[in-house]
Amino acid sequence: MSYDHLAGRPLPEGAMTVTAAGDRRFTALVGGRALEGDAVHPLWLMIALVGHLGVPIEDVYAQVGCDMATDGPMLGEVDLELHRPLRTGTYRVLGEIVDVRRTAGRSGPFDLMRMRVRLADDEGVAATCLAVQVVPRRAA
């Protein structure tokens, strides 16, 4: 099945607010170190990817015919780019499906869905994440 019609498709805009208290908890959870001033842990970008798009991540997978509960999609690769330090405050979460391509490996066919997520505020884009989602497919 072709998903060419999804290439470049923007996802509904979401929002994410990072507080100092939330960052302290998150940083402790991931074993990080506290940053100076209002700077927050850069992995908040990953939290935006899975929990702060304008639609649930399950709905994104559904666009490629994937049920998260039964199909077992996986995060395959991530490229995080910080354009400047992330800070406490509210970010717009801008997502898009870059493309979807079919391939195969030892375990059979699967799709690679590339998604781009940007965190932006009044100063512009602060960080960009390019994530490759692996969507297993049953052999025909």
* Domain range annotation of the chain: 4-136
pLDDT at 60 over 80: yes
7 to 10, 12, 19, 59: CA distances (angstroms): 9, 15, 34, 16
pLDDT digits (tens, 9 = 90+) for 11-45: 999 999 999 999 999 999 999 998 999 999 999 99
Burial 44-67 (b: 16+ CB within 10 A, else e): bbbbbbeebbeeebeebbebbebe
3-state secondary structure of 50: helix
- From the list 31, 131, 39, 32, the residue with the least C-alpha distance to 84 is 39
- How many whole angstroms from its chain centre is CA 71? 19
pLDDT at 61 over 70: yes
Residue 56 binned pLDDT confidence (cut-offs 50, 70, 90) = very high
- Look at the domain 4-136 and name its fold: Thiol Ester Dehydrase; Chain A (3.10.129)
